[in-house]
Structure 1
């Protein structure tokens, strides 16, 4: 037999070596560690326990060991110095002096307290999760997919005072901002943070806990597969640091970060700022790919004597390796590096990750030079937000704006603008990133507007383009910079004259495709119900539901629905999601295929509002377009019964329903009579004729209690007859019709 070895179990081994016996026993009581504790003898000597436990771990299968390894990692992270400090602060929310004392008196120091918080009770486990969310913010800071930073535009940031009324107000408005079906929970944790001057400041962490999108899974019990649904736990974290005048938001969904920050601003800060939205800025580091020695920007109240970089960090061709350059002499960074390194990454705008800029300033009325150091890093990180000297902070912001580095963004400001949504639809129809400025211009895209929304991000410069000559032949011309940085020019090959173009056309632009889809979701406004944070990569994207004529109609989004390949893929995917009533597929295509599965395909441009009604998409037009097409959409699947060759099994296909497979010749005969009647145009079948030669008086006697037959067969009101259950939205309802009981219907 081969020797047992351990792989990917470093945390379990470390915990086993460092923790005391009692702590290990408590840890093994977790559901994730059942395999670790099952059959293990805990009565042995404490000194021999770790070695025996390691031997036990070696004999566990990987699928048994991995859950315990993950829990060990969580425990050790919160036993680290920063994690332990966070956990101790969070423990104060136990609101029980005896429990807090018990927590602090645990054996095993930090590891013992971490394990106790994880295992003691459901409430302590909840606080363990909160502490873990706060700890994770340090690792996720700067991650563009999860993190955004917002400036608080004021001289003195308002304080944050936590109370029950603030908690209730935040929970109400955060639930609305994230469009949750169930209320969220907000947990406030104030933590001490040491500022640059050594003074301790308070940073407010708000952990927002909520249920995620419903997930369906399959489990195996006694070799039988059983489906079940659950709502996974999700959270978002807001951080407010008054001394840094900054709000940070950690959330999976891009378009909700600004609304979450605005909610905190309006309902969390109890000062006049509470009625003002927060500003979001983007710091474009591409300017530092060029020398600064000749740059002397004009700013109010001060003169710039000298600008130079003392540090820069750039990627080495890909997203894992980077190089940092530090220069103390004050010399021009590019001159120093150009002499020693050709084609270096510091001259590539897209490669720069961060810089430290130093400006030697002379303020009005002064003769001495005041140095100002500014640290910039993506995304949205700037040391000026923590600058206590308001004069330096103001001048620094002006300097960055004059250099074109600081660019305020306003994400979500155009969600009610039909023109913006039309551009978003056209851009999604292209669905590529990056796109050059010339292509965007042909699409009619307002580059400045979408850059302000954060949808477009400026990339590298284009050095040449193709123009059409009079005879139609293409000709490549070189683009050159003009004296005006906002313009470029090329020499016309026929006339020899210079042709001037906007500089933004001679750029490649990175397109935030996920954000584009979220703009469409937000544009639907309050008409949607239960929209959650989700991955938006795969189409069709489920947007939510809309109430139309009392029915919950599903809405989907899919681009390029005029393409046969895309249509076939979306159509196949939607047929795997049958619903009782036809749905809606919103698409960016102008002339799409009319139906997909049993869903009406509607171009977004056909349902844009005229403006002024609070939503970019006119829901009235959307409902009218749906009603016109919903009956025809039911033809997306035909009514049929496919019988096997031996005649002992058959599958019934109905529009909007999952295929139903039955076995038994009597059942097949009943379904065949109903399908034949529907095909003949007389869908009603008399009960006696329907059940002939089956030995049963009604379908209730023929089909078992667990059978879904009631979803496929329905009794005709006012008659002793049955028909197939085909959903329609326009069936008239008689107000005086007596409601028939289920027992009477089953009796036939």
Structure 2
């Protein structure tokens, strides 16, 4: 039977079993920094290879798993560049960076794992570049971390890694991102592959906002460690397609990096030719396959016809393609052979369309032709060598309302819509129907142009509540322009519903959150957030005339699980001082952890955090500050049947949510006020369904509640933990 190693991670285990022993010893003894736990390894004294590895596995497994984490991370990184496409990524970077003699040493290593370990141990910066290159090959799988832009080149010479003014690019990015320290730039030429043309990769690394964490030392003393977390964004420029693909966690950084690269490296005049965010709105083709002709003075477009359409029927695994010549009317052909508009009504979407264009320029008797093909996110225009044809193609796509540019919300729009954007951010799901967006007074198309929303699909089943009719209905094909047929579950005709209302959109949280956090800039200055949870971020410290106040931004406090989870996180950060939790939506809670809770929407003055809003915020903080310390007496403040707040002087307020928790705390408070203090277990949990008072809380919160706010003082008896209060026994 194979041995189980509970403390040893799988990557370290695999490396110990496969790596050459001298190299393995070097990897395991490596320390990345002084803060890494120092591990003394007792190396086995035997010449038998198999016995040596078996003994080492046992000795490593005897070390605490926490101390083995840095070793596990190191082994994982080394192994990631030794499998799949990792070795080619590593060797390409090494070939660009290292000397001939060093490359000979690299290639002398017996296998891919040894080559990866050799570069990691000898040249760590090159190893990091290889990791970035390897990740860049999987760009499009990054989803929320990925954006793509089209750009016009303003220079005539070839753009490669050697022609990039890294110092100028670093200076511009440092200024535009308002960074406290200079960014570092690493550039690399990427070779052509069967799937991608030759490209240039630029890696941008910079320090994030100053952060800190309390480090618990061996002597029992906690000391803060201040650090700047490393941030990284990677840009790939493909000259043949004139596209920039940018990967990074912050959408604002991706946009600024694209602009800076275009300005410094490509010499693009962004005032006249801004970057085009690649998104094509194909909704017009659901109504008609006919395109109108523009009436322009500088070019005569004599014909523009759709010659190819590829539809997805029902779902994206079914594909139907139709291609005709420019002399054919594709709508008439579709009507005759495919059922025409009936096909368009039932189509899930379009994956490819092509338009043939005939045009002439003033003063030229010779006519010219152009074919434009495009899908949701890609077109063939960027690969056209003739700039005249590229410009004409983009003008036509914009004229037809197909090409959307990234148009971030300006300050006026943010101020106007900020309360509604807060409500959108507080929405519990990432998907939202067009009808709900309309009810909030927002324009879905404008939010798509700003990057906040993304069109996902049409709902096939919706819930209606009209004229005493309530229930699910099926959505059929388009009944009339802008409306789809509604059919009851038993086939009855229920009229029609608006297509705009039943379209399903995805909220791009990273864009929306960045807009909202930027609105907090008057409080913090250069906003640099720390993500504590998917629903909670630490924004920074607000410097007032009296103190520095920690500021947090939270959402979804109306969800019981979210409330309990955030309560635990914020109570664990009480050493940072009494702060303010700004919430995206309204909430009855006035405190969360040692913090005063304020709905951000209630503070805004004309959609902004101006001096009046800051004064109101400070006044609320001063009023609520005392209660954030527990107040002056034991109190259970009720905010409705399902939520309450427990105040015990000297303790951080405790958020109480749900019937079980409220019954337990209510009975403990009543016992405390009666002077008896203690209450039997059976009486305390009666009607809750819990086996113990602590079981009324979710598992992740029990340790921070039981024994802190109430205690099992003696067998079968519980009481509030008030022994620290004057007069308590």
Displacement of 1:511 after TM fit?
2.3
Aligned counterpart for 1:118 among listed residues 114, 117, 120: 120
Partner of 2:691: none
Q: Distance in 1 between matches of 2:282 and 2:90?
A: 33
Corresponding residue for 1:587? 583
The SS at the match of 2:541 is strand
Does residue 87 of the first structure (1) align with residue 94 of the second (2)? yes
- Alignment match, 2:537: 541
1:73 aligns with 2:79: yes
SS state of the match for residue 411, structure 1? coil
Q: How do 1:214-229 and structure 2 match up within 5 A? A: 214=211, 216=213, 229=225
Task: Report the Cα offset of residue 258 of structure 1.
Answer: 1.9
Structure 2 equivalent of residue 169 of structure 1: 171
C-alpha deviation, 1:441, in angstroms: 2.3
- 3-state DSSP of counterpart to 2:143: coil
The separation in 2 between residues aligned to 1:532 and 1:414, in whole angstroms, is: 19
Write the distance in 1 (CA, Å) between the matches of 2:452 and 2:52: 53
Within 2, Cα distance between the matches of 1:298 and 1:589?
47
Please, which moves more after superposition, 619-628 or 29-38? 29-38
Q: CA deviation at 1:424?
A: 0.3
Q: 2:617 aligns with which of 625, 632, 654?
A: 625
Identify unmatched segments of 5+ residues in structure 2. 295-299, 487-493, 635-647, 655-729
Q: 1:457 aligns with which of 443, 454, 459?
A: 454
The separation in 1 between residues aligned to 2:103 and 2:257, in whole angstroms, is 33
SS of 1:272's equivalent in the other structure is coil
Residue pairs, 1:229-308, within 5 angstroms:
229=225, 231=227, 232-266=229-263, 269-270=266-267, 272-273=269-270, 277-284=274-281, 294-296=289-291, 298=293, 301=301, 303-308=303-308
Q: Is the 8 A contact 1:279 1:410 kept in 2?
A: no
- Name the CA shift for 1:475/1:249 in 2 (closer, same or farther; >3 Å): closer
**Which residue number corresponds to residue 150 of structure 1?**
149
Per the alignment, in what secondary structure is the counterpart of residue 543 of structure 1? strand
From the superposition, tell whether residues 273 and 540 of structure 1 become closer, same or farther in structure 2 (CA, over 3 Å).
closer
SS in 1 for 2:438: helix
Alignment of 1:513-592 (within 5 A): 513-525=509-521, 527-528=523-524, 531-532=527-528, 534-535=530-531, 538-559=534-555, 573-578=569-574, 582-589=578-585, 592=588
Q: 1:303 to 1:118 in 2, by over 3 A?
A: same
Deviation at 1:136, TM superposition (A): 0.9
Q: How does 1:672-687 map to 2 (within 5 A)?
A: none
Per the alignment, in what secondary structure is the counterpart of residue 81 of structure 1? Answer: helix
Looking at structure 2, the residues matched to 415 and 56 of structure 1 have their Cα atoms a distance apart, in angstroms, of: 68
Question: How much has 1:543 moved relative to structure 2?
Answer: 2.0
SS of residue in 2 equivalent to 1:80: helix
> How far has the Cα of 1:252 moved from its partner?
1.3
Per the alignment, residue 601 of structure 2 pairs with: 605
Matched, 1:512 2:512: no
Match of 2:132 in 1: 133
**Which of these residues, 28, 34, 39, is aligned with residue 43 of structure 2?**
39
Contact 2:305 2:356 in 1 (8 A): yes
3-state SS of 1:417 partner: helix
- Does the CA contact (< 8 Å) of 1:16 and 1:53 recur in 2? no
Q: Show CA shifts across 1:464-492 (max 9, x none).
A: 774644xx7769998874765xx33889x
Structure 2 residue 386 is the aligned partner of structure 1 residue 389:
yes
Evaluate the alpha carbon distance shift between residue 270 and residue 255 of structure 1 in structure 2; reply closer, same or farther with a 3 A threshold.
Answer: closer
Cα 1:610–1:291 change in 2 (3 A) is: closer
Whether the aligned pair in 1 keeps the contact of 2:313 and 2:346 (CA below 8 Å) is yes
User: What's the counterpart of residue 440 of structure 1?
Assistant: 437
Counterparts of 1:181-192 in structure 2, within 5 Å, are 182-192=180-190
Q: Does the Cα contact within 8 Å between 2:277 and 2:406 map onto a contact in 1?
A: yes
Q: Which has the higher contact order (CA 8 A, sep 6+)?
A: 1
Measure how far apart 1:604 and its partner are. 2.5
Distance 1:552 1:40 in 2: 55
* Alignment check: 8 A CA contact 1:437 1:504 kept: yes
Query: In 2, are the aligned partners of 1:162 and 1:188 still within 8 Å (CA)?
Result: no
- Secondary structure of the 1:617 match is coil
The question of whether the paired residues in 2 share the 8 Å contact of 1:635 and 1:655 is answered with: no
**1:409–1:634 CA distance, 2 compared to 1 (3 A):** same
Q: CA shift at 1:453, angstroms?
A: 1.6
Contact 1:244–1:386, Cα closer than 8 Å, also in 2: yes
Change (3 A) 1:242 1:346: farther
2:629 matched residue in structure 1: 637
Q: Give CA deviations for 1:314-357 in whole Å, capped at 9, x if unaligned.
A: 997xxxxx858697987999999999xxx9999434xx7xx444
**What pairs up with 1:399-418 in 2 under 5 angstroms?**
400-401=397-398, 405-414=402-411, 417-418=414-415
Q: Residues 244 and 413 (structure 1 numbering): CA distance in 2 closer, same or farther, change over 3 Å?
A: farther
Q: Could you list the per-position Cα deviations for residues 289-333 of structure 1 after superposition, in whole angstroms to 9, with x for gaps in the alignment? A: x698x44554663634552257x88997xxxxx858697987999
| Number of residue-to-residue matches in the alignment | 596
- CA separation of 1:609/1:188 partners in 2, compared to 1, >3 Å: closer, same or farther? farther
- For the 8 Å contact 2:630–2:653, the answer to whether it is kept is no
CA distance in 2, matches of 1:4, 1:542: 40
The match for 1:102 is 102
Separation in structure 1 between the aligned mates of residue 301 and residue 60 of structure 2, nearest angstrom: 70
Matches of 2:611 and 2:428, distance apart in 1: 25
**Structure with larger Rg:** 1
Q: Distance in 2 between matches of 1:214 and 1:253?
A: 17
For the Cα contact (< 8 Å) 2:185–2:204, is it kept in 1?
Answer: yes
CA contact (8 A) 1:9 1:69 kept: no
* Secondary structure class of the residue paired with 1:422: helix
TM-score (norm 2): 0.65
What is the match of residue 428 of structure 1?
Answer: 425
CA contact (8 A) 1:413 1:453 kept: no
- 1:355-406 Cα offsets, whole Å, 9 max, x none, are 44444444446679765554x46xx444433332335534544565567653
Asked whether the 8 Å contact 1:251–1:257 carries over to 2, the reply is yes
Is 2:483 aligned against 1:488?
yes
Post-superposition offset of 1:141? 2.7
How far does residue 114 in structure 1 lie from its aligned partner after superposition? 4.0
Structure 1 unaligned residues grouped into runs of 5+: 92-98, 317-321, 492-497, 643-651, 659-748
Q: Residues 147 and 38 of structure 1: is their aligned pair in 2 closer, same or farther, counting only changes over 3 Å?
A: farther
Q: CA deviation at 1:284?
A: 4.8
CA contact (8 A) 1:171 1:183 kept: no
Distance 1:38 1:456 in 2: 57
Give TM-score scaled by structure 1 length: 0.63
Cα 1:581/1:276, change in 2 over 3 Å: farther
The 3 A distance-change label for structure 1 pair 567 and 117 is closer
